[in-house]
Amino acid sequence: MNTVQENLKQIQQDINAAAAKTGRNSEDITLLAVTKYVTIERTEEAVDAGIVDLGENRIEGFLEKQAVIGEKAVWHFIGSLQTRKVKDVINQVEYLHALDRLSLAKEIQKRAAKKIKCFVQINVSGEVTKSGVSPDETLAFIQQLAEFPAIEVVGLMTMAPNTEKEDVLRSVFSGLRQLRDEVKAAGMLHAPCTFLSMGMSNDYTIAIEEGATHIRVGSALVGPYK
């Protein structure tokens, strides 16, 4: 098994190449280490390798890791969050990547002791197995979030289909970028919407070429290890 440092070196080379290909600055791309399947020790290895941003989607594992690592990391909750679980995590994270319904927004407003930076999750591909707001409803949904001052919509997030077809992946990622541009152009104070959270271990270079600002990399970086 490679060290995180070894994996990070390769991933950083890939990020630099993808950014250069489209005339972007690689420093504008945030690498999230998705540590949900690995131990606290492996997560600490990622932090020691210089990774700042950590993504978790299982509450128990997240709280255990945060208790050890604490403020050495910027914490992102990247999975679907049940409304009844909001109180357990919302004040422990800097970013939530899966805001997808008004009931969740209401509970965040109720429980948050600070402003929460949220990515609205969009189901660009239309897959029934995926959560998220439909593209057609995105602008109206984000307009409604103005009712919740604890929420700042910093960007949009999507999960691409599990496919190796590059044209399909590009279509999904470019679709999210276009939606982001529409929301940003609307000039809503509560929704600057500058970021795009998209791309994982198998497709992050394509996501970067299509405009990703945040990529969520697990197995390629820290490994799918218990």
Domain ranges of the chain: 4-217
pTM, whole model, 2 decimals?
A: 0.96
pLDDT for 163? 92
Fold of 4-217: TIM Barrel (3.20.20)
The pLDDT assigned to 226 comes to 46
- List of the chain residues with pLDDT < 70: 225-226
Query: How many CB atoms neighbour CB 142 within 10 A?
Result: 24
pLDDT value at position 128? 85
User: What pLDDT was estimated at residue 225?
Assistant: 56
Residues 38-68: b if buried by 16+ CB within 10 A, e if exposed: beeebbbbbbebebebbbbbebebbeebbee
Q: What is the pLDDT of residue 224?
A: 75
Q: What angle do CA 125, 117, 215 make, to 5 degrees?
A: 50
Nearest to 170 by CA among 140, 198, 207, 220: 207
